Amino acid sequence: GENVEQHPSTLSVQEGDSAVIKCTYSDSASNYFPWYKQELGKRPQLIIDIRSNVGEKKDQRIAVTLNKTAKHFSLHITETQPEDSAVYFCAAYTGSARQLTFGSGTQLTVLP
Protein backbone atom coordinates (compact mmCIF):
# COMPACT_ATOMS: atom_id res chain seq x y z
CA GLY A 1 0.00 0.00 0.00
CA GLU A 2 0.84 3.68 -0.10
CA ASN A 3 3.35 5.13 2.38
CA VAL A 4 3.72 8.88 2.95
CA GLU A 5 6.66 10.36 4.80
CA GLN A 6 6.62 13.96 6.00
CA HIS A 7 9.44 16.24 7.16
CA PRO A 8 10.20 18.05 9.35
CA SER A 9 8.11 16.97 12.33
CA THR A 10 8.49 20.43 13.91
CA LEU A 11 9.25 23.77 12.32
CA SER A 12 9.65 27.18 13.95
CA VAL A 13 9.88 30.35 11.87
CA GLN A 14 9.82 34.06 12.56
CA GLU A 15 6.71 35.95 11.54
CA GLY A 16 7.07 37.09 7.95
CA ASP A 17 9.49 34.32 6.98
CA SER A 18 8.64 31.42 4.68
CA ALA A 19 7.96 27.83 5.73
CA VAL A 20 8.42 24.71 3.64
CA ILE A 21 7.13 21.22 4.48
CA LYS A 22 8.09 18.23 2.36
CA CYS A 23 6.44 14.86 1.73
CA THR A 24 7.36 11.78 -0.25
CA TYR A 25 5.05 9.01 -1.39
CA SER A 26 5.67 5.48 -2.57
CA ASP A 27 2.79 4.51 -4.88
CA SER A 28 3.20 5.87 -8.41
CA ALA A 29 -0.55 5.34 -8.92
CA SER A 30 -1.38 8.10 -6.40
CA ASN A 31 -2.88 11.02 -8.30
CA TYR A 32 -4.18 13.55 -5.77
CA PHE A 33 -2.26 15.28 -3.01
CA PRO A 34 -4.11 17.45 -0.46
CA TRP A 35 -2.76 19.40 2.48
CA TYR A 36 -4.70 19.81 5.71
CA LYS A 37 -4.23 22.25 8.57
CA GLN A 38 -5.29 21.10 12.02
CA GLU A 39 -5.41 23.54 14.89
CA LEU A 40 -5.41 22.18 18.43
CA GLY A 41 -8.69 20.44 19.19
CA LYS A 42 -10.17 21.19 15.78
CA ARG A 43 -10.93 19.31 12.59
CA PRO A 44 -8.39 18.91 9.75
CA GLN A 45 -9.13 21.70 7.27
CA LEU A 46 -8.35 21.28 3.58
CA ILE A 47 -6.16 24.25 2.61
CA ILE A 48 -4.84 23.34 -0.83
CA ASP A 49 -4.57 20.34 -3.11
CA ILE A 50 -2.84 19.34 -6.34
CA ARG A 51 -3.48 16.68 -8.94
CA SER A 52 -0.85 14.61 -10.66
CA ASN A 53 -1.22 16.41 -14.00
CA VAL A 54 -0.18 19.74 -12.45
CA GLY A 55 3.28 20.75 -11.25
CA GLU A 56 2.42 23.74 -9.07
CA LYS A 57 -0.60 25.46 -7.59
CA LYS A 58 -0.88 28.72 -5.66
CA ASP A 59 -3.53 30.24 -3.46
CA GLN A 60 -2.52 33.60 -2.01
CA ARG A 61 0.31 32.90 0.49
CA ILE A 62 0.16 29.13 0.04
CA ALA A 63 1.62 27.07 -2.77
CA VAL A 64 2.13 23.38 -3.42
CA THR A 65 4.61 21.80 -5.82
CA LEU A 66 4.64 18.23 -7.11
CA ASN A 67 7.50 16.24 -8.64
CA LYS A 68 5.97 13.02 -9.96
CA THR A 69 9.29 11.59 -11.09
CA ALA A 70 10.82 11.92 -7.65
CA LYS A 71 7.50 11.19 -5.92
CA HIS A 72 7.61 14.17 -3.65
CA PHE A 73 5.48 17.23 -3.02
CA SER A 74 5.91 20.28 -0.86
CA LEU A 75 3.86 22.98 0.87
CA HIS A 76 5.20 26.52 0.81
CA ILE A 77 3.80 29.25 3.05
CA THR A 78 5.09 32.77 2.50
CA GLU A 79 4.83 35.79 4.79
CA THR A 80 3.91 33.58 7.72
CA GLN A 81 1.60 34.91 10.43
CA PRO A 82 0.99 33.69 14.01
CA GLU A 83 -2.38 32.30 12.92
CA ASP A 84 -0.53 29.93 10.57
CA SER A 85 0.65 28.05 13.68
CA ALA A 86 -0.90 24.57 13.55
CA VAL A 87 -0.17 20.97 12.59
CA TYR A 88 -0.01 20.45 8.84
CA PHE A 89 -0.65 17.05 7.23
CA CYS A 90 0.09 15.99 3.71
CA ALA A 91 -1.78 13.10 2.13
CA ALA A 92 -1.81 11.03 -1.03
CA TYR A 93 -4.86 9.48 -2.67
CA THR A 94 -4.79 6.27 -4.66
CA GLY A 95 -7.92 5.74 -6.73
CA SER A 96 -7.76 1.95 -6.72
CA ALA A 97 -7.59 1.89 -2.91
CA ARG A 98 -10.11 4.73 -2.55
CA GLN A 99 -8.28 6.09 0.46
CA LEU A 100 -6.20 8.99 1.66
CA THR A 101 -2.89 8.05 3.25
CA PHE A 102 -1.59 10.74 5.58
CA GLY A 103 1.87 11.81 6.62
CA SER A 104 2.75 12.04 10.31
CA GLY A 105 2.30 15.81 10.48
CA THR A 106 4.42 18.93 10.97
CA GLN A 107 3.94 21.22 13.95
CA LEU A 108 4.50 24.72 12.58
CA THR A 109 5.08 27.50 15.08
CA VAL A 110 5.25 31.09 13.87
CA LEU A 111 7.04 33.26 16.40
CA PRO A 112 5.86 36.90 16.66
Partner 1 sequence: DAGVTQSPTHLIKTRGQQVTLRCSPKSGHDTVSWYQQALGQGPQFIFQYYEEEERQRGNFPDRFSGHQFPNYSSELNVNALLLGDSALYLCASSLAGRQETQYFGPGTRLLVL
Tell the smallest beta-carbon distance from residue 96 to partner 1 (Å).
9
Instruction: Restricting to residues 30-69, name those near partner 1 by CB under 8 A.
Output: 31-32, 34, 36, 42-46, 49
Query: 3-state SS string over 37-82?
Result: EECCCCCCEEEEEEECCCCEEEECCEEEEEECCCCEEEEEECCCCH
d(CA 60, CA 97): 32
What residue type is 88 in one-letter code? Y
Residue 44: CB minimum distance to partner 1, A: 5
Q: Applying CB under 8 A, does 29 fall inside the site for partner 1?
A: no
> Does residue 24 interact with partner 1 by CB under 8 A?
no
Shortest Å distance, C-beta 2 to partner 1: 10
Assess contact for 78 and 47: CB atoms under 8 A: no
Give me the residues that bind partner 1 (CB under 8 A), please: 4, 6, 31-32, 34, 36, 42-46, 49, 89, 91, 93, 95, 97-105
